[in-house]
Amino acid sequence: MAESNRARHTETTKKPKKKKYKIHWLRIILCILLVLTLVGGGVAFGVIKAMLEDIPSLDGASLDDYEVTSYILDKDGNYVDKLHAGEYRVPVDYKDISPNMINALTAIEDQRFWKHKGVDPIRIGGALVANIKAGRTVQGGSTITQQLAGMVLLDRQEKSYTRKLQEAVIAMQLEQRYSKEEIITAYLNRSFFGNNAYGVQAAAETFFNKSAKDLTITESALLAGMIQNPSKWSPINKPENAKSRRNVVLNQMVEIGAISESDCARYKEEPIVLGEFKSSNKTDGNFYANQSFIDHVINEAIDILDIKDNPRLLYTDGYVIYTTLDTRLQSYMESIYNDDSQFPAGDSQSILQSAAVLMESKTGAVRGIMGGRNQTGTRNLNRATQSVRQPGSSIKPIIVYGPAFEMGMSPGTVIDDYPKTYGRHVFKNYDHKYRGLMTIREAIKNSTNTVAVKTMEQVGVENCIKFAQNLGITSLVSEGNPNDLNLSSALGGLTQGVSPLEMAGAYGAFANNGIYNKPYVITKITDKNGRTLYEHQTESQAVMKEETAYMIANAMVSVVSESGGTGTMVALSGRQVAGKTGTTTDNKDYWFVGFTPQYVTTVWMGYDQPREVRSIGSAGRSCGPIFKKIMAYAHEGLPTENFPRPSGIVSQTIDTKSGLLPSEYTPAEYQKSEIFNKEFVPKETSEAWALVEIDPLSGELFTNKCPGAPETKVVLRRAIPWQENIAPGFTPADASLEEPTAECTIHANGIAVGDLFLTGSGKYSGEKLASVELFWQEYTGDGVSYEVHRANHSGFTPDGSTRISNTSGTSFTDRSPLQEDRSIYKVVVLDANGNRMATSNEVAASAKTSVNQPTDNKPDDTKQPSNNDNKPSESEGEKPFSNVTLVASVNSGNIVLSWNAPGNGDYQYYIFRSENSTVAANSLNQIGASSAITTTSYSDTAAESGKTYYYKILVVDRSNNEQIASSNTVQVNN
């Protein structure tokens, strides 16, 4: 019945036609006379006409001239939030309103709606009779069209004859201009239903969590009954009143044939069941779901629509805003940011704040935004999009290494890591460690400041700033004073800072083959009529070569995947993750920015009023865990992707101390495969290493005065040899690999440290060491003297505290040796002016053993006991320190020497020959020096027949180049 009623009076819905029409004054006057009769007054025709002279015109008026709520939708087109000022309204078309609602409304408000021409004399007469019988006003005579006329053009609060007359006239004009469907639709879109719901769609959502087209008969009856007095018949505040009013409407629906009496009786028994529609995005407590994202959407929409001068329009003009929001990811981010246990503790002054952005790498579509922790309202400070903070080292890929790679450098480019002074400023590493010549890959992995500064210096500050600006960093200051055109920018020391959103956009270009897509959150905006006002067009720009982007990404993978990297704690199993930490020098701001081929995430921590954060040890261990949780969740179910390697990238093994091709001398540990843009692959061979002859005792360059054979050693050759005065106190780790800068100094007089060979014997009384006798050969020179030094530990440096005697002889007896510890002895040679010329080896005498020999100069706790150690005898005794026995024989004119090794170590033997019984261990007497002697025999083929020779052996431990023993002297008659 309801459908037939509606079909009988339905016309095709269309836009209002601008048609000319003639006012039928006679009809109007007759109706007005009838109205005046009802209100108890007869008014002259002239007075009526005068009242109509001020009637508002329909020209320029619109049935949909009202505030309309704007909607925000997520990436899938689902409702997220609504924006409205005073009125929550969502207009709908006639076809989107349930027929049940149309029937309920006409039944209670205007049963002859489909028949009259705007004013219903029968309804007016019926109302008049009812009011007279009741003695008061119990019914109104206004039709739906008259009520709409009052809504559109008149003040409905005014109660006067003039307004009633004007309302009737306007109603008849509306009927001539608009269809019945348009009139009843406009009425239902304008009506107030309480609870801030304006219009039938808003009411259906508010009370039943459904669309207007889905309203049932009982729901429609309830809503239709509320229109005249929403507060009195509210199902929320006054459910009994609401039910009673609903049943009245159901009775009226029986009268118009919309429902049967039996159905009506059944409907009256149904309870009122309300929905759970959220009137805002507010959830439990004071937390607002999606609010950080929504706040940024609002700001961006105001810019796109160019309504900065009247932003209220965003809340009243019925826009539908389609966004990039992924509510699943946003909700997860919010669960982290509302959990205080996920964050380091703040101080007593304020909470430690944080912000995060999650963005698609390939598109720039932002999927989640956290503007702060524990957000409790709308339009708060959005730290992810509105705050700019110092980025620390997280800016290095953007402002240093990106432009450097673009100009031909690579992860294999080598820079010397040591502090360099610029004016009055010295840039230092955060860990105060300096590694010397290192590749840029290692510098990125270890977040090495000195390399970043020196790289920017080579590339040029202006080039670096321009590159960063092309990556969407808009806060850089390149003019005025102060500005960012200085080397401090390499370490994130910027005039203003950067926002997490812009950092995400910049890093996205590295993940996207060098294509920068400006981050965005709005995909489309339509007006209340569905007309598209804006549609996102990706702002893509090729800001670097794809080879540059790949090398940066690949180098930042090392930060996460390689031992020693500052971001190893964020690794995702089975996925390539590239990232960079950032910490300001004053520990006020902490960052982790990283990406995969699918997503980019930025995490920042700090106080709103910048000051040192004492509760954070490092960016990796504070921001890193938040980053990892977000990225792990975002990648659930996604296929594994690696960064695509461009065809212009090639691999080449390089010397990591020069960045060039390895030479024959490059040690294996300093050879590594590295990637390059094929246009800049190194072709030159490294000259960073050389093979030189070193004196094994002094470690300096071998000269013709050095005894024995030289040691050939591969050494590092810096372009500028390291000198302590370059950066006092900051010697790089690889300085020890450098080529010696001086010739051997300890053999300048033909004898060296250890060449003054010290021997001796200890005398015991029972277990007590009674005395120690020391012997050494004479050191040639005028005015030579000797200092005897004693200590209780090996490896000591002779000084005033260890000196026990000064003598010009070549022997000394210590009659007061140490009784609780070993007595360790050294002899120092002084020239006539008291300058030291040489130092002997060490010898030791134990307080509780009779076996004593030259020490190997190792610390006591590493020294192995000799197999010859034994308990001292009860009687006095002595034993020489030397335990190498030399024997000789003559074979066909050659003198064959053989001896025993002093132990199980790695030894080199120096052989000395003299025609005097006292064999001086110096370069003039050394034989067999052309090669290192490591066996325990030697044939002297240069000995002349008929001569008498004396031989002696000195033993050197090859592990530390220390002389540890000497042999006896043997006489041979050839």
Active site residues: 109, 393
CB-neighbour burial class of residue 271 (10 A; exposed 0-12, middle 13-18, buried 19+): exposed
Torsion, Cα 455 461 465 468, to 10 degrees, reads: -10
Q: SS3 string of 386-455?
A: CCCECCHHHHHHHHHHHHHHHCCCCCCCEEEECCCEECCEECCCCCCCCCEEEEHHHHHHHCCHHHHHHH
CA-based radius of gyration for the chain: 49
b vs e for 574-608, b when ≥16 Cβ sit within 10 Å of the residue's Cβ?
Answer: ebbbbbbbbbbeebbbbbbbbbbbbbbbbbbbbbe
Chain centroid, CA 370 distance in Å:
14
Torsion, Cα 554 559 561 563, to 10 degrees, reads: 130
Within 13 Å, how many C-alpha atoms sit on residue 497's CB side? 22
Chain centroid, CA 252 distance in Å:
66
Token pair, residue 898, equals 């053989």
User: In terms of Cα–Cα distance, which of 617, 611, 570, 554 is closest to 588?
Assistant: 611
C-alpha distance across the termini of the chain, in Å: 143
b vs e for 307-345, b when ≥16 Cβ sit within 10 Å of the residue's Cβ?
Answer: eeeeeebbbbbbbbbbbbbbbebbebbbebbeeeeebbe
DSSP per residue, 724-781? GGGSTT---GGGGGBPPSSB-STTTTS--TTTS-EEEEEEEETTEEEEEEEEEPPPPS
Beta strands in 36-106 (DSSP E): 70-73, 79-83, 88-89
User: Quick one: which H or E segment has residue 329?
Assistant: helix 327-337
Token pair, residue 767, equals 């277990």
User: In terms of Cα–Cα distance, which of 153, 157, 190 is closest to 168?
Assistant: 153
Contact 227, 234 (CB under 8 A): no
β-strand partners of 649: 677
| Identity of residue 229 | N
The C-alpha atoms of residue 380 and residue 288 are separated, in whole angstroms, by 11
Contact 485, 478 (CB under 8 A): yes
Token pair, residue 375, equals 């957000």
Number of other CB atoms surrounding residue 150 within 10 Å: 19
Number of other CB atoms surrounding residue 709 within 10 Å: 19
Chain centroid, CA 619 distance in Å:
8
Contact 566, 585 (CB under 8 A): no
Task: Find out whether the peptide bond into 482 is cis, omega within 30 degrees of 0.
Answer: yes
CB-neighbour burial class of residue 132 (10 A; exposed 0-12, middle 13-18, buried 19+): exposed
Number of other CB atoms surrounding residue 418 within 10 Å: 23
The DSSP symbol for 520 reads B
Nearest-5° Cα angle at 613, 611 to 617:
150
DSSP per residue, 1-45? -HHHHHHHH-----PPP-------HHHHHHHHHHHHHHTT----H
Chain centroid, CA 153 distance in Å:
58
CB-neighbour burial class of residue 42 (10 A; exposed 0-12, middle 13-18, buried 19+): exposed
